[in-house]
Amino acid sequence: MAAALLLLLVPPVGLLAALAFLARPRAARVPLKCRHVLITGGSSGIGLAMATAAAREGARVSILARNLARLEEARAAIQRESGRGDVGVHAADVRDADAVARALREAGPVDVLVCNHGVFVPQELERQDMEEIKWMVDINLMGTFHLIKAALPAMKARTRETRLPGSIAIMSSQAGQVGIYGYTAYSASKFALRGLGEALLHEVITDNIHVSLIFPPDTDTPGFEEEHKRRPELTNIIAGSSDGMKANDVAKKALDGIKSGKFVVPCNFEGAMLAIATAGLSPQSSPVIAFLEVIGAGLMRFAALCFQWNWFSTIESYYAKNKKRE
C-alpha cells in the first residue's frame, strides 16, 4: 500500500521539481518601506486606496492625476490615514508625453511605478464614436507607454544604486483577459497591456525590475458608477452576474502581488480561474501556481467553453426576443 502511494506521488512531485527549475523569472520580494511609490489615477478609487495602503507601509507616495484640486483632497486623505506628510501630488494628463515626463522629473526617481489610470465607456462598436474609442486607447494604452518611458531610466539607476528590486505595475482588467459584449474598444485597450507587460518584463528583468499585471473585476469606484449608466442592456445581463469588489480590497490584492513580484495578479477567485485559463505563454515565478496552471489547463478550457456557450445563448435569446417585439 505504501509503495503504491509513493508511486502515485512520483508524477506530481516530479512535475513540481521540473517546474521549480523552469519557472522564470525567479520569485522576488519588492519592499515598499522607505521607497518611492508613484501611482497614477491616485486621486480616487483603487489608486487612492493603493496610495493610502502604501503610505501606511512606510512608502514615500506620489500620486498623479489630471485634477489638482482632487489631488490635494487625496493628499490630505492619505496624510490623515497614514500619518505621513511626504505625499507628492502631480497634475498631468497621461496622454501628454511631455507633461508626464515633467511630472516624473518633479517627482524624482521612482522605485515602484503603478500605472493605475484608465477610462471606460461601454458601447457596441458600431454605435461608438471613433473619437471616444481613440480617447480610451490614448489613455489606457498610450498613457501607460508615456509613464513607463519617462520613469524607466531613473528606475534602472535606482535599482543599481539600492540593489533592491523595482516594480512596474500595470492595471488591466478582467476585460483584458476575456472579451465581453459592449466592451470591444475597452477590451482592446486592456488586452494590449498584457503584450506590453510580457515583452517589457523581458527587457527590464536584468535591471532587477519586475512587472505586474493586475486584473481587477468590476470595482466600486466613482468611475464604475458612471460606466454603469452607459452599459448596454445586454452587457448588464452578461457582466452583471460577476461579483464586484471594493476599492480597498483590490488595492490590498494589488499591493500584495506587487510586493511578491507576481506577473499576473488576480483579485478574486473568478480572477484566479481566469488567470489559469489564460496563462498561455505568460511568465510564472511560482512553481506551485505553474503546477496549477499545467494541471488545470484542460479543466479551465472546458469551463471557458461553458461560459462562452452561456454568453452566446444569452445573446441569441436577447436578440430573438427583441425581434419578436418589433
Q: How far from 324 is each of 217, 232, 317, CA to CA, in Å?
A: 34, 19, 11
DSSP bridge partners of 114: 39, 169
Q: Which residue is catalytic, options 190, 253, 259, 262? A: 190
- Check: CB of residue 263 under 8 Å from CB of residue 197: yes
Catalytic status, residue 190: yes
In 3D space, the residue among 151, 163, 225 whose CA is nearest the CA of residue 31 turns out to be 163
The three grid cell numbers given for residue 256, joined into one nine-digit string: 500584495
Sheet holding 60-65, edge to edge: 88-91, 60-65, 36-40, 112-115, 166-171, 209-215, 264-266
DSSP of 3-57: HHHHHHHHHHHHHHHHHHHH-BSPP-----TTSEEEEETTTSHHHHHHHHHHHHT
Virtual torsion, Cα 297, 301, 306, 308, nearest 10 deg: 130
Q: Which helix (H) or strand (E) holds 85?
A: none
- Check: CB of residue 207 under 8 Å from CB of residue 193: no
Q: Which residue is catalytic, options 44, 172, 173, 189? A: 172
DSSP of 275-309: HHHT-TT--B--HHHHHHHHHHHHHHHHHHHHHHH
Q: Which residue is catalytic, options 44, 82, 173, 186? A: 186
Q: Give catalytic residues, as residue numbers.
A: 172, 186, 190
